[in-house]
Structure 1
Amino acid sequence: MKLVLLNGPPGSGKSTLARRYADDHPPALALDVDRVRSLIGGWRTAPGPAGLLARDIAVAAARTHLTAGHDVVVPQLLARPEFPERLQALARETGASFHEILLLPGREETRRRFAARGSSETETAEPLTDDQFAAMYDRVAAFAEERTRALVLRAGKIDHVYQALLTSLM
């Protein structure tokens, strides 16, 4: 069984790939922490504390699913090591293999995808400005350089990225 972390900036394809993997590998779980956070009352006024609680809930759900012998894919924007390390520890605890994948299809491709998808019920703030988006992309790209064990996928087309993802999980 596998625990897969898909990290990347908004619009990089994290949720799309997680959902596709789960659909193609039932009963794998696409565990979107932002969706979990959106289920917590008052999350828009206190997104930080709600996000931490959502991660706790997600880890508990992942533990349950992995213990039952099923794959879990977690799409999550991360630029700090605490949550990836927590997921890696969970994988060790449950006997799952851990795969950390960073999706960086390029700033302009990612910006185009992000703009095309529209807003989401799980977003907390006003739409990102170009400068905010660039800064977010750069933070994740810098984090990718720190994560020497993570696989960085840079291909643009989602079908190609999905195939690369499947290959990396073999």
Structure 2
Amino acid sequence: MPRLILLNGAPAVGKSTLACRYAEDHPLALVLDLDRLRRMLGRWRDDPSAAGIRIRSIALAAAREHLAAGYDVVVPQLVGRVEFIERLASAAAESGARFDEVFLLDGVESIVHRFAERTRAAADPADAEAHELLAGGDDALRDWHSLIDRLAAERPHAIAIDSVPGDIEATYRTLRAALGPDAD
């Protein structure tokens, strides 16, 4: 059975890296990174909010199609609104797929440090854009961290795992174990 995996978490917690790692082990698994997709919209910076709404709809359509074809989809995205999580769950159900809601967690000061390090390295344009789009700096990161922690605790079927800084393989092993034996 195909699965749609939402990897939710604060900025720089390792969502995209972990999604790509999952895809390495699962043939034709699709990593739907909304931040990268958004960059494909012309002049998206003119109205980032409208671009975000548009790209979520596009991503849901792509997820439905790929899941219906029998393949896994991984969405590495900071999602603070339950409505979008529920839309992802519905897309999975409509496609006959399993939905796994995963929260990647780390301490607040670690997140602040990881974000600063990622911004300094900024080899990927999406990482540089994340810094530009984060209004409020470290305080905003702390707010996102609090929101994610609260959502992880409130969501009844969510899986919460610790993201090990600098050790994607350890985090990946924890993810695989949390997803169960059918994640192989």
Residues 1:111 and 2:119 are matched in the alignment:
no
Write out aligned runs for 1:1-12 (5 A). Answer: 1-12=2-13
Q: Identify which range, 12-21 or 159-168, moves more after superposition.
A: 159-168
Write out aligned runs for 1:32-71 (5 A). Answer: 32-71=33-72
Write out aligned runs for 1:87-166 (5 A). Answer: 87-118=88-119, 119=122, 120-122=124-126, 123=129, 125=132, 129-156=137-164, 157-166=167-176
Q: Hey, what's the Cα distance between the residues in 1 that align with 2:115 and 2:32?
A: 20
Contact 2:41–2:51 (Cα < 8 Å) also in 1? yes
- 1:70 is paired with a residue whose SS is coil
Q: Hey, what's the Cα distance between the residues in 2 that align with 1:113 and 1:162?
A: 18
Question: Taking structure 1 as the reference length, what is the TM-score of the superposition?
Answer: 0.93
User: How far did 1:110 drift?
Assistant: 2.0
Higher helix share: 2
Q: Hey, what's the Cα distance between the residues in 2 that align with 1:126 and 1:63?
A: 29
Q: Identify which range, 35-44 or 52-61, moves more after superposition.
A: 35-44
Query: Which ranges of structure 2 fall in alignment gaps of 5 or more residues?
Result: none
- 1:100 is paired with a residue whose SS is strand
- 1:44 is paired with a residue whose SS is helix
Distance 1:126 1:80, change over 3 A: closer
Query: Which ranges of structure 1 fall in alignment gaps of 5 or more residues?
Result: none
Residue by residue over 1:27-76, the C-alpha shift from the partner in whole angstroms, topping out at 9 and shown as x without a partner, is 10111011111111121121111001000110111111111110000001
Question: Taking structure 2 as the reference length, what is the TM-score of the superposition?
Answer: 0.86
State the one-letter code of the partner of 1:79.
G
Query: Identity across aligned pairs (percent)?
Result: 47
Q: Hey, what's the Cα distance between the residues in 1 that align with 2:117 and 2:20?
A: 18
